[in-house]
Structure 1
Amino acid sequence: MPTMTTPGIDVPDARGRTGLNRTGRDLTGNPDVVIRDVELLATAWHVLRRTTYDYRHADGGWSREQRETYDRGDGAVILLYEPERRTVLLTRQFRYPAYVNGHPDGMLVEAAAGLLDDDDPADAIRREAAEELGVTVGALEEVFKVWMSPGSVTERLHFYAAPYTTADRTGAGGGVAAEGEDIEAVELPFDDALKWITDGRIADAKTIMLLQWAALHGPYATK
């Protein structure tokens, strides 16, 4: 009888990964949570798991819970700003999930961002700024690290900001064509970017967070 094998568990999946059903089984940091099982539901690109665990409530009673988590790795995002001209440099690209959920055309204006892909966060965001906007980033300011959708997505996003000048735009940008990226650079006066939040032309959470940080505590904060 042939041995049953499952890609991503005991044989490599399309991305060469195994043991994907082990994640979370050894968690011991919270004594009110006991992991019972981890099931692998999908590994086509990122990883969808269903975890069963026992949870102790505030009244001392236990219940058995199940949660699905989508693991796409961690990411990084950067706000590029030009202090002398009081501008920011953003991207515009098609986002199918937004399009299918009510955005008129799926073309979102965003700060440059991407997955870490096993790189250090600072190295990853320098790579993304070069690929998407053609900018060679100098000194980085780390702003914060945030779980963006902790109810279902494991990703933690590293937020950065950095100044740029015209001279720093050393590459073509546009993203990686082999990955299906078709990215437009959008340079805006900072005050216009804030107005775009109000009228809905900027509707991306990470970008709104960075723009508001810039207005409240960052390079465009009132001193």
Structure 2
Amino acid sequence: MNDMIEIQPAPEKRRAFAQWAVEQVPKLRTVSTHAFTVPANAFAEAPEDILIGALVDGRRYVSPVEDAAAGRPAPGADGARLLDCGLCYEEDGQEVHPHPLCPETTALDGQQADADAAAMVAATSDETIAAAMGAVLLATDVAASNAAKADGGLVLDQDLPDVPEADYGPDAVQPPTPEGSELPAPDPTEPHAEVPDGVFPCGLPDCDREFTTERGRDLHRRAKHPEAPDAG
């Protein structure tokens, strides 16, 4: 059985409870801004007045003083049967164990904790995980399909179809050749070399630079090939 009890005093009793808590040896500690942890033996010796209206392990503490002030008979005074635990009384013909020191109360709390743990395990079973993964995959497929439709039906993870050479226009730029199979640059000094209109190659050995104007070509030669005969 857990020998520590969590007590949340009533708001109007909080200051008095805190004063009593710091007088204990050792001092009682808080677990939140409004709750204290109290050893079971200290709880049994706590003044009745500071426990009135408190929550003890999540259950409202019913004090004999409070019963008397409200005109209610104390537990057992109305002939209610004392249960085997020796701390709780029968209520409405049922065995109810509200007393925080009652071993049955602790056992019931443990059973509830086991039930909560079993529910958590069931929620993360293989079947549940598989169902969740299936839902994720379905959502991914739907998103990919919608994206493909938005792109005009193009599926992005597929290669583009080959375009016949006849479909290229006269000014089309051919794609680069694969690495390792580059074609040598044409030598504009050779008679058979064909230079398109509006293109002015450097024309010097080991230089394949091309320019759109003669002035640009001449400036390049003077800057990069000053040793060339016509660079000046």
TM over 0.5: no
Counting strand residues as a fraction of each chain, which structure ranks higher? 1
Counting helix residues as a fraction of each chain, which structure ranks higher? 2
Which TM-score band applies after superposition, normalised by the shorter structure?
under 0.3
Give the structure with higher Rg (CA). 2
Q: Considering Cα pairs closer than 8 Å and 6+ residues apart, tell me whether 1 or 2 has the greater RCO.
A: 1
